[in-house]
Amino acid sequence: MNDLRKRFEAAIMPNYGVPPVALARGQGCRVWDTDGNAYLDLIGGIAVSALGHGHPALVAAVSEQVATLAHTSNLFLHEPEVRLAERLLRLLDADGRVFFTNSGTEANEAAYKLVRRHAGPGRTYVVAAVSGFHGRTMGALALTGKASIREPFGPFGADVRFVTYGSADELRQAVTGDCAAVFLEPTQGEGGIVPAPEGYLAAARKICDETGAALVLDEIQSGIGRTGAWFQHQHEGVRPDVITLAKGLGGGLPIGACVGLGPYASAFRKGDHGSTFGGNPVACAAALAVLDTIEKEGLLDHVTDVGERLASGIAAVGHPLLAGVRGRGLWRAIVLAEPKSAAVEAAARDAGFLVNALQPDVIRLAPPLIITSDEAGSFVTALPAILGTA
């Protein structure tokens, strides 16, 4: 493993640093490194590996599609793309249209262009939230409310005004008839898995309705069953104008989607946007397998049940370093009383668990949706010793 890490450092740009583990294979919710050490994967590729590793449905769908037709470009249509778009619209229970991308940041780039196209020149700015994260390409980065990663790349060709996440009063003051859109996450993911306060999304919907601004919900981490519903906004009974998806949608294959509802379904005109690889047949086949499996295996209820067991188990751990747990479904934050998340991540890894030090005092858990109660319980059992070692 050390040799591979040295080769990585010599050949790969340094923006990721050098990861501490070199993974070789995975099966179910477990992965093995190149030295043969096994780990319970509680990161899931950052909420991507919805079906875990090597799931037969995903393997079969991808294998069959790549042997049949691997790529078409956007010059030709193919059935998996159409089927997937139709399926997403049924799950959203909405009239709309879908634009497929390869990633979440591209989905948000598409959403940003879509709302600007619909708004026209009279609406000159958009509103987003402090600590929000929407991606690292220039348009999506302009919407990202984290100064440390945004400011080195400014100025941006966009007027983005940031408000405190969860403050309906600030949002109401910021959104006027000149505002094109409001970009929000139902739960701030990279910000620390911070759920919206009760009633906040409904207030955002009302404010957008009153001013004519679009409500764009970034469900790149929270969507596709992660919180126990197909999309987190369905828990709140709030319908966005535009929704962006990625991560868990492909179960490990790169795919994203920008879904426009109502008038935003047809705001793009011919030639307004495009992607050579977006809607790739193999990625679409993978996404259809993910959606089929979630439905057939009843994983939405499973996520709710196991997620509650995991959260209650963590909350019951009596340790001075543990300050609490938050989140929903299988998307949880362990909140620490001290900024020791890096040490906790390392101690968990030594104990055979992969977790993510998201913030100095926050550990992120986003395991595959298929994780069993016993697997989740094994982490809870090990947590006191992990915290004690950190």
CATH number at residue 47: 3.90.1150.10
Last residue of a domain, one of 277, 296, 315: 296
Last residue of a domain, one of 247, 266, 296: 296
Last residue of a domain, one of 262, 296, 330: 296
Do 137 and 256 fall within a single domain?
yes
User: How high is the pLDDT of residue 1?
Assistant: 76
User: How high is the pLDDT of residue 173?
Assistant: 98
339-357 pLDDT, tens digit per residue, is: 999 999 999 999 999 999 9
287-342 pLDDT, tens digit per residue, is: 999 999 999 999 999 999 999 999 999 999 989 999 999 999 999 999 999 999 99
Nearest to 153 by CA among 143, 167, 165: 143
- Torsion sign, CA atoms 38, 40, 45, 46: negative
Phi, psi dihedral angles at 178 (to 5 degrees)? -95, 0
Do 214 and 302 fall within a single domain?
no
Ordered per-residue pLDDT tens for the chain, 390 residues = 788 999 999 999 999 999 999 999 999 999 999 999 999 999 999 999 999 999 999 999 999 999 999 999 999 999 999 999 999 999 999 999 999 999 999 999 999 999 999 999 999 999 999 999 999 999 999 999 999 999 999 999 899 999 999 999 999 999 999 999 999 999 999 999 999 999 999 999 999 999 999 999 999 999 999 999 999 999 999 999 999 999 999 999 999 999 999 999 999 999 999 999 999 999 999 999 999 999 999 999 999 999 999 999 999 998 999 999 999 999 999 999 999 999 999 999 999 999 999 999 999 999 999 999 999 999 999 999 999 998
Do 232 and 289 fall within a single domain?
yes
Do 231 and 208 fall within a single domain?
yes
Residue 387, CA distances (Å) to 128, 320, 343, 379, 390 in order: 35, 9, 9, 12, 5
Do 288 and 311 fall within a single domain?
no
pTM of the model: 0.96
- Torsion sign, CA atoms 26, 349, 334, 164: negative
- Could you give the number of structural domains in the chain? 2
Q: Exposure of 112 by Cβ count < 10 A (0-12 exposed, 13-18 middle, 19+ buried)? A: buried
pLDDT over 90 for what percent of the chain? 97
Do 233 and 360 fall within a single domain?
no
Q: Which residue has the tokens 């400014």?
A: 154
Do 333 and 216 fall within a single domain?
no
Do 263 and 342 fall within a single domain?
no
Do 41 and 165 fall within a single domain?
no
Residue numbers annotated as active site: 133, 218, 247
Do 75 and 216 fall within a single domain?
yes
CATH number at residue 175: 3.40.640.10
Domain that includes residue 321, residue range:
2-54+298-389
User: How high is the pLDDT of residue 311?
Assistant: 98
Do 155 and 264 fall within a single domain?
yes
Nearest to 353 by CA among 36, 4, 37: 37
Do 111 and 184 fall within a single domain?
yes
